[in-house]
Structure 1
Amino acid sequence: MRTHYCGLVDEALLGQTVTLCGWADVARNLGGLCFIDLRDHEGIVQIVAEPSDAAGNAEVLAAAAHVGYEDCLRVTGVVRKREAVNPKLKTGQVEVVATRIELLNKAEPLPFHAHENPGEDIRLKYRYLDLRRPEMQRMMRTRIKLVQALRRWLDARGFQDIETPILTKATPEGARDFLVPARMHPGEFYALPQSPQLFKQILMMAGFDRYYQIARCFRDEALRADRQLEFTQLDMEFAWVGERDVQDTVEAMIRDVFREVAGVELADPFPRMTYAEAMRRYGSDKPDLRIALELVDIAERVKGCEFKVFADWANAQGGRVVALRAPGGAALSRKQIDDYAAHAAKFGAKGLAWMKVDDPAKGRDGVNSPIAKFLDDATLAAVVQAAGAQAGDAIFFGAADYKTASDFMGALRLKLGKDLGLVEDGWKPLWVTDFPMFEWDAEAGRYVALHHPFTAPAVDDEADLRANAATAVSRGYDMVLNGNEIGGGSIRIHRSSMQSAVFDLLGIGKEEAELKFGFLLEALRYGAPPHGGIAFGIDRIAALMAGTESIRDVIAFPKTTTAQCLMTGAPSPIPDAQLAEVHVQVRPPAPKA
């Protein structure tokens, strides 16, 4: 139907006849002269319908005069140089003088304009219109280029693209499974994969040394800006490797792909940081290094102070008392400080002490704080000095168990950094390594895996792992970029005895392990090689490259935060007859109290 794309018409086509298809982005009727901005996925070109002696010109002008917003058109015309150049368009040097305009489909009045940015509910209900918007076209094309670049890089280096099942067995990977009733096996269910983890490990045992897959994954969990029920990851696995083999390869890949797709040069090599250091300095296992602020431990300085909250946690086993300097924070109002306390409370804080430092040289007379009266002069001076506070700064304090204090002070650090304009421009990647093997779940009364139950411990002896489970370190690693975890992986357990020991520590008994993972334990007994891998979040990387905070902007048909597709109406009720075919009966939810 067309000879060229609208956005690719240029001076090389001057004097040539072209046929274009697209939507009328703007139509201007000046009375005897009409202009139409015709848009397709490559961009916009100006169409001109003008008076002339040519036969049929009146028909062209009449057609142009009746073109409406978003009408679907086919235009044939001659390319010529524009008198008024438009530097904002790729095609701004040229225009097409129409010799024929065909209305392929008349558009009814639209719920919003392509150059507007309506509320997200409207955008997602009319997603086909939202995706026409130039900004959405740009972001989606960034994602497309990212996936293409990743495939080219991997294919060129001998990685093998192998598909793994979508209908599989439920396994514990930290979130709820989506279940699919098995019609031919009444009362039994498939699960949609949270990741291809076990299958890619099996592939290593099967002799496919370098595997990759652009994999669809499913997790029935709460949604937010960087999380969806169904998402896409680049899944990779390597045989006969250690940590640095995997890390060095994928670091080179990410560096090359960012250069190709986004024109960004990332550090070479990426800096490295242990989990313990990241939590101590930044209160996060995915620190945003663009913010220079760091947490400072002050427990030793306040153990003997009269402020009970500080003293109790400073002397408690596993407690933490931490300070965070806010440059220029002395200018904050009480309401702003209260807002920061409310923000910290979302992450576990039961209170947020603060201090304004007007002049550190004046000692007690140079500070303004409701807790100052509980600190003697020496302690007060030591705290201000430890925090590195200067005249005009504020200091925020957190006291709690180590993890809770780290979590809410880390969240406060990010908010302060953004609010105070302390986020540097640019890209700050790093590796976070040496994660704890387990976390203790007090409510369940057992350990849970920090990454997943197939991650290898740093120790190679099962007895050592059992004896030191609380402090055991894993061979896990995450790639972080600007405060976002974009990839996570580990060296895997490759011996059946170690895998059984880990299951046991996680409270997965022999019978349950055999029922859920018998095939894996058996496969590990037949000469499984050392292996490891990583998975990258395609959605998150694409959002970073496109400059958006929401992964919904780089997913063609995302769900809302209430897990709905507004365009199709999913999820929706299923007729009883269809449910009966798969041997399922729906129990209505209990009425709300």
Structure 2
Amino acid sequence: MHRYRSHTCGELRASDVASDVRLSGWVHNRRDLGGILFIDLRDHYGITQLVARPGTAANEALSSVTKETVVRVDGKVVSRGADNVNPELATGEVEVEVSEVEVLGASAPLPFTINTDDGVNEERRLEYRFLDLRRERMHRNIMLRSAVIASIRSKMVALGFNEMATPILTATSPEGARDFVVPSRLNPGKFYALPQAPQQFKQLLMISGFDRYFQIAPCFRDEDARADRSPGEFYQLDVEMSFVEQEDVFQPIEKLMTELFTEFGNGREVTSPFPRIPFRESMLKYGNDKPDLRAKLELVDITDVFEGSEFKAFAGKHVRALAVPDTADQPRKFFDGLGDYAVSLGAKGLAWVRVGEDGSLTGPIAKFLTEDNVKVLTERLGLAAGHAVFFGAGEFDEVSKIMGPVRVEAAKRAGHFEENVFRFCWIVDFPMYEKDEETGKIDFSHNPFSMPQGGMKDLEEKDPLDILAWQYDIVCNGIELSSGAIRNHEPEVMLKAFEIAGYEAETVEREFAGMLRAFRLGAPPHGGIAPGVDRIVMLLADEPNIRETIAFPLNGNAQDLMMGAPTVLEESRLRELNIALRKPVETKAADAKPVAEAVHPDAAR
């Protein structure tokens, strides 16, 4: 028999009754029922119940071991009997009557319990992450991640893509976040940068003549944590394709996502096909560019209805309305609750009315609406008895910030929100430029390296604020999985695009010398995207925080509490690297933004 096990703890079945077996694993739980010990033994594969009879050596040995001690046991498989079957365990029809015990790894008292989710704080969990990963939920999440990545690789190869590796030690580059830098011992005073993404390398692969590239790429960005963003390190499915237009990128990625979320979604419905929503339409209807389409409500721009109105709360402001059907039976606290929610987002309040059986409007602002207002609102919003209407007024961005989340919250509270589905969409037609409201300066809206729709002709002839870019986002359930773009591979078009944003040609030539040199030596049209692996797994696992899907994440302050990183280097090591330390000093922001602050083409915004 094998030194440690003949079977795993998830393997034994009724057909194994009367077999002599050897198991190894962790003591998950222990119960003493009248001197008979019952032990739940856990390993990677599952749990098997052990039984140790009174007066036996096995009972004596197991009565003293602590939870999470690693043991090897020998014994005989016996049937639990029909009345004692545990249907929640794959091994629930049997148990092992233990005859011999060997302690392989004793456990000291635990900092928190493993077999229950006892609400221990996250900092403690991250400090003892190796224990936290023994919990069933965390173990399941990490195995889901492994399976998802394996499936992505298989599907990408089937779609005709080739996996290629790109450098980890590289040069600092013009990305959207701060680089992590690495000192060079052999080149004193110089530094490598860890890649924020393989962006330039994957474009260079296309210029090198490779056609369809992908990589499960580690990316490093020195940025603050969020619920859907891990600080420091993350992984993305990096993709680039040659001789493609926007729809050519959409087709394989949409197929991949549909198959992936169907495979691992536990029966949850997946959008097919993915709707294409222009950026400006998304901002108007949903209040943001990452709409949660599970909410079956839309915002409507009604600014024109109140132009010249005597109702001061709406006059001269951008106004959007949200019509919510089936609210006739909703109590006043439904309306007050949404108002409180809007206030928590920064609003001063939330105006509303409700529609009666006769079509008349009642509510706090009903008396301020004229007959013409009511008529137009009824027609435009499709109002009927039982509808409620919520209003947001102010600057465009202010209204979007408030009414976007209110739309989703109202749908949830009023029963117009789909559960257990994955609602995907593409956000397209992003504006190439925007105007700084304070300075009036034209600057890139998001991605300066996208090909402008209309190319050089539009750059020369159109108002910059009317120019759209060939860039796109993929969104699922209100989570942005990735940005992508058809790249601007024409040097003269790139120089013109930066000129409009106030950058001199000499500056662009200096900052992007390598890429421009490559573009001038035969560059194909190309484009790509980079969906975040961590966010994909977060959605599939139905976890609210991305750290729950990463084996060893940093905390919100970009610290590894388990390994003690970051650390202080000894003086001898600093001298070897030719580094002298100084205390941080306050610095004033530069008056002019350097070109190196341009955002990464596939960076999540």
TM-score by length of 2: 0.88
1:437 maps to amino acid: M
Q: Deviations over 1:342-400 (max 9, x none)?
A: 2332xxx5x4441232627374xx4221x445433432454465445555654332223
TM superposition shift of 1:42? 1.6
State how far apart, in whole Å, the 1-side matches of 2:547 and 2:226 are.
9
Bigger mean CA offset, 487-496 vs 420-429: 420-429
SS in 1 for 2:345: helix
**Structure-2 residue corresponding to 1:300:** 304
Count residues with an aligned counterpart: 573
State how far apart, in whole Å, the 2-side matches of 1:296 and 1:552 are.
36
Q: Deviations over 1:16-35 (max 9, x none)?
A: 33322211111123355221
**Structure-2 residue corresponding to 1:540:** 535
Q: Note if 1:359 corresponds to 2:365.
A: no
CA contact (8 A) 1:71 1:103 kept: yes
TM superposition shift of 1:184? 3.2
TM superposition shift of 1:505? 3.1
Q: Note if 1:82 corresponds to 2:80.
A: yes
Runs of 4 or more above 6 Å deviation:
none
**Structure-1 residue corresponding to 2:98:** 98
Q: How does 1:31-42 map to 2 (within 5 A)?
A: 31-42=34-45
State how far apart, in whole Å, the 1-side matches of 2:564 and 2:473 are.
37
TM superposition shift of 1:580? 3.6
Q: Deviations over 1:397-446 (max 9, x none)?
A: 22233333223211222233334453212221122222222233445764
State how far apart, in whole Å, the 2-side matches of 1:312 and 1:199 are.
50
**Structure-2 residue corresponding to 1:399:** 393
Q: Deviations over 1:143-165 (max 9, x none)?
A: 11100100111223432211112
From 314, 326, 338, the counterpart of 1:310: 314
2:428 maps to amino acid: T
CA contact (8 A) 1:356 1:392 kept: no
The 3 A distance-change label for structure 1 pair 569 and 466 is farther
1:38 maps to amino acid: L
Q: Deviations over 1:195-250 (max 9, x none)?
A: 11111000011111111111111222221110112111010111111111111111
**Structure-2 residue corresponding to 1:283:** 287
CA contact (8 A) 1:305 1:375 kept: no
State how far apart, in whole Å, the 2-side matches of 1:423 and 1:442 are.
36
1:27 maps to amino acid: R
1:549 maps to amino acid: P
2:78 maps to amino acid: R
**Structure-2 residue corresponding to 1:234:** 237
From 509, 522, 540, the counterpart of 1:527: 522
From 417, 422, 430, the counterpart of 2:416: 422
CA contact (8 A) 2:342 2:402 kept: no
**Structure-1 residue corresponding to 2:163:** 161
From 65, 68, 90, the counterpart of 1:67: 65
SS in 2 for 1:79: strand
CA contact (8 A) 2:338 2:410 kept: no
**Structure-1 residue corresponding to 2:594:** none
Bigger mean CA offset, 299-308 vs 186-195: 186-195
1:429 maps to amino acid: F
From 577, 591, 594, the counterpart of 1:582: 577
CA contact (8 A) 1:434 1:477 kept: yes
Q: Note if 1:219 corresponds to 2:221.
A: yes
The 3 A distance-change label for structure 1 pair 449 and 75 is farther
**Structure-2 residue corresponding to 1:509:** 504
1:344 maps to amino acid: L
SS in 2 for 1:461: helix
CA contact (8 A) 1:466 1:505 kept: no
**Structure-2 residue corresponding to 1:378:** 372
Q: How does 1:12-161 map to 2 (within 5 A)?
A: 12-50=15-53, 58-83=56-81, 84-114=84-114, 115-116=116-117, 117-161=119-163
CA contact (8 A) 1:331 1:392 kept: no
Bigger mean CA offset, 439-448 vs 168-177: 439-448
**Structure-2 residue corresponding to 1:336:** 337
Bigger mean CA offset, 219-228 vs 432-441: 432-441
**Structure-2 residue corresponding to 1:244:** 247
Q: Deviations over 1:506-548 (max 9, x none)?
A: 4443333233211100101111111111111111110111111
TM superposition shift of 1:178? 2.2
Structure 2 unaligned spans of 5+: 587-605
Identical aligned pairs, as a percentage? 42
SS in 1 for 2:425: strand
The 3 A distance-change label for structure 1 pair 488 and 375 is same
CA contact (8 A) 1:539 1:551 kept: yes
Q: Deviations over 1:253-297 (max 9, x none)?
A: 111222223344523322222222212211121111111111011
2:373 maps to amino acid: T
SS in 2 for 1:216: strand
Bigger mean CA offset, 71-80 vs 284-293: 71-80
Q: Note if 1:411 corresponds to 2:405.
A: yes
CA contact (8 A) 2:27 2:69 kept: yes
The 3 A distance-change label for structure 1 pair 342 and 465 is farther
SS in 2 for 1:422: coil
Q: Deviations over 1:427-484 (max 9, x none)?
A: 2112222222223344576444444322111112256357432111111122221111
Bigger mean CA offset, 437-446 vs 133-142: 437-446
Structure 1 unaligned spans of 5+: 52-56, 314-319
State how far apart, in whole Å, the 2-side matches of 1:431 and 1:337 are.
29
State how far apart, in whole Å, the 2-side matches of 1:121 and 1:27 are.
28
State how far apart, in whole Å, the 2-side matches of 1:142 and 1:268 are.
23
1:200 maps to amino acid: K
State how far apart, in whole Å, the 2-side matches of 1:489 and 1:333 are.
40
State how far apart, in whole Å, the 2-side matches of 1:444 and 1:572 are.
42
The 3 A distance-change label for structure 1 pair 110 and 413 is same
TM superposition shift of 1:129? 1.1
SS in 2 for 1:585: coil
TM superposition shift of 1:58? 2.5
From 552, 559, 569, the counterpart of 2:554: 559
1:325 maps to amino acid: A
**Structure-1 residue corresponding to 2:601:** none
State how far apart, in whole Å, the 2-side matches of 1:466 and 1:227 are.
39
State how far apart, in whole Å, the 1-side matches of 2:509 and 2:481 are.
33
Q: Note if 1:191 corresponds to 2:189.
A: no
State how far apart, in whole Å, the 2-side matches of 1:465 and 1:122 are.
58
The 3 A distance-change label for structure 1 pair 360 and 168 is farther
1:100 maps to amino acid: E
**Structure-2 residue corresponding to 1:54:** none
2:77 maps to amino acid: V
Q: Deviations over 1:149-200 (max 9, x none)?
A: 0011122343221111222222233222223333333333322222111110
1:185 maps to amino acid: N
The 3 A distance-change label for structure 1 pair 381 and 109 is farther
CA contact (8 A) 1:288 1:481 kept: yes
The 3 A distance-change label for structure 1 pair 418 and 223 is farther
CA contact (8 A) 1:174 1:452 kept: no
The 3 A distance-change label for structure 1 pair 15 and 151 is farther
Bigger mean CA offset, 471-480 vs 403-412: 403-412
**Structure-2 residue corresponding to 1:317:** none
State how far apart, in whole Å, the 2-side matches of 1:367 and 1:325 are.
14
The 3 A distance-change label for structure 1 pair 586 and 414 is farther
